[in-house]
Amino acid sequence: MSKTYDVIVIGSGTAATTVAKRVSAAGRSVAVTDFRPYGGTCALRGCDPKKMLIGGTSASDHARRMQGKGVEGDVRIDWRELLEFKRGFTDPVPEKKEKSFSESGIATFHGRARFVGPNAVEVDGETLEAKHIVLATGSEAMKLGIPGEEHLIDNERFLEMESLPRRIVLVGGGYIAAEFSHIAARAGAEVTILQHGDRMLTGFDPDLVGWLMEKYEEIGVTLHTGTEVERVEKTEDAFRVTATGEGGSRTFDADLVVHAAGRKPDFAPLALEAAGVELRDGKLALNEYLQSTSNPAVYAAGDTAQMGPPLTPVSNHDGKVVAANLLEGNHSTPNYKGVPSVAFTLPPIARVGLDEAEAREQGLKFRMQCDRTPGWFSTRQQAESVSGYKVLAEDGSERILGAHLLGPHADEVINVFTLAVRHGLTADQLKDTMFAYPTGASDISSML
């Protein structure tokens, strides 16, 4: 005997929660299923627990920078206590999330969902049917396809390590490698990054990334770009990574090797073929409404949809779009203009809108303000040595086209520029805004 609902949502993270809560609030019957503890990647295995660890390492780093400036004593990281601090946030999430669903009248199931028909899934031997099914299963660490790949741990296991190994090798050069290297190095580990590309953080402005690299050197992180990992071997009491770079083949010994080379959805367990849901170039074939082009009963949101950047605000936005289309018919489409992005290094680096190359590709004429700002009060007050900005404004209209920030307050100030980019505000309008002083945002007029 199957159970029938108006909507089934597969997943329990940001996108899934947004869809389920909105559709249920409109009076539709909704079921949510997840094979993992409820809460999703961001709350349990990604952004939030990572930020909890950064809370400790940033405090330690700030104390170090303030040595000889009125702060004395050595602040050290106790990894076990820091992990318990993190767990104080993450451990209650699944129960709270499931309780929240139940209080909203949403049915909850546990187990892997796989399609058994165009409008039906099977969960732990039970069949669930619905008019619409929403895929919001998030992403997994992508396969590297190298011998010894099983010896690597992914970002999820890194965030659950009971102790911090002495020597860590990170394979990859994106957000995960950038942020985890700063966490581990400031907690006392020897960190090496092996990146196959010619630089770290390719989604961020190259000039600002270059300035940020000075911090990597300062905290002792060793970076090897243009380096391809060939294999990982288990030694008697550690691991050996063999990689090829400009100087030929070499080995790196480590107590831990971390997969930090990107994530993507894992569609195999869903048995999409049973529902006639097609893939195109490894991605779900979706229309502008985030609906499957081959099965109109199926929608997708967040990292599973792969339509916008793999960020939590995008998942929330996608969830709103899908919910609106489920409730009122297809009419809502995602708007990814002005999506801010932050790598929570110390200091953080952030961007929103266009960079120079993108603006030129679009044929836009613009003026650019760019400078390093170690002498600014907002940087000196934090005893920081690395900061800077780059802002693009369109010639004539003075519309803010893009902003790129590096420094102690970049992760917050970027939100002001996000408002400007998304809503077409001009440099003059930002200059005319009175920001609280002294704050990071009060620097904005000097960037324009």
Mark the binding-site residues for FAD, compressed into ranges: 51, 137-139, 303
Annotated binding site for NAD(+): 172-179, 262
Contact at 8 Å (CB) between 300 and 136?
yes
End-to-end CA separation in angstroms for the chain: 65
**Known binding-site positions:** 51, 137-139, 172-179, 262, 303
Distance CA 115, CA 271 (A): 5
For residues 298 and 277, the answer to whether their CB atoms sit within 8 Å is: yes
